[in-house]
Amino acid sequence: AKPSALPFSSFRRIFRPAAEMLALPFLPFCALLAALALVCVASVSAWCQYWRGGFSWDGTARTFNWHPVLMVTGMVVLYGAAALVYRLPPAWSGAKLPWKLLHGALALLAFILAVLGLEAVFRFHKAQGIPDMYSLHSWVGLATILLFSCQWVAGFSAFLLPCAPAWLRAFYKPVHVFFGSAVLFLSVASCVSGINEKLFFSLKNGTMEYKLLPAEAVFANALGLLLVLFGVLVLGALAKPSWKRPDSDSPDARQVPALPFGA
């Protein structure tokens, strides 16, 4: 059996119904997904600006507000965009290296934003005397970042280094695809749990209690649903066979030209 059929099969079975529902052609679907991504980033920014007091880097709650914005922008939106690079029709023919570089650059930018998001929450905790890493959200979130960093380093080593053998690329490709989908799934789960945790901590005085569903709770809950929708659509697009780049168009031999070491 081909190794590419094993790890990703479970994700394909789960998200195949979603993929079959994607009746739009790919480019209009991308436009719809881009609009949804902008709405997600704008919504989390508006939530933190309007209800949570805005942004700063002084250790106050306004420092914490960078955390959800950077995580949503990096680990959900940019990471989702990186995952879909190879589904773009121009990537189906010709050299694969430019698309590899774009894929890796988007993922690296997502990682940088995630690290800044972690710095924001750790800075806030330190300034306010709040313990780090005690909630389930923080455990899942940090595990996601660590898995993502390992995924990026392994992908760079296997697919961009000229010395990587073809058998290693063939072996690791399905593993890379599987864990790429897993990281996106965990990123959405982390963001949704973080939104819920923030609402529980913030809406707990008088008429603003979360259980009474004030306007902020409605807005943030809707943001969580939008993030879930974005993640499902990206994973559905990844599982749709007709949107995959044909392997025959991109032989491994053309991926990265061998460099004459010692020349």
- pLDDT band at residue 3, thresholds of 50, 70 and 90? very low
CA separation for the pair 11, 104 (Å, rounded)? 22
Residue 260 lies in a domain: no
CA separation for the pair 194, 183 (Å, rounded)? 16
Note down the domain range covering 215.
26-243
Residue 252 lies in a domain: no
181: domain CATH number is 1.20.120.1770
Q: What is 201-238 written as a DSSP string?
A: HHS-SGGG-GGG--HHHHHHHHHHHHHHHHHHHHHHHH
pLDDT at residue number 223: 98
The 10s digit of each residue's pLDDT in 244-258 is: 887 644 444 344 333
Global pTM reads 0.84
pLDDT at residue number 253: 36
CA angle 241, 144, 135 (to 5 degrees): 135
Residue 207 lies in a domain: yes
The 10s digit of each residue's pLDDT in 88-119 is: 888 888 888 999 999 999 999 999 999 999 99
Residue 5 lies in a domain: no
Total domain count, the chain: 1
pLDDT at residue number 179: 95
Amino acid at 99: W
Residue 57 lies in a domain: yes
The 10s digit of each residue's pLDDT in 186-218 is: 999 999 999 999 999 999 877 789 999 999 999
pLDDT at residue number 260: 34
The 10s digit of each residue's pLDDT in 40-68 is: 999 999 999 999 999 999 999 999 999 99
Residue 168 lies in a domain: yes
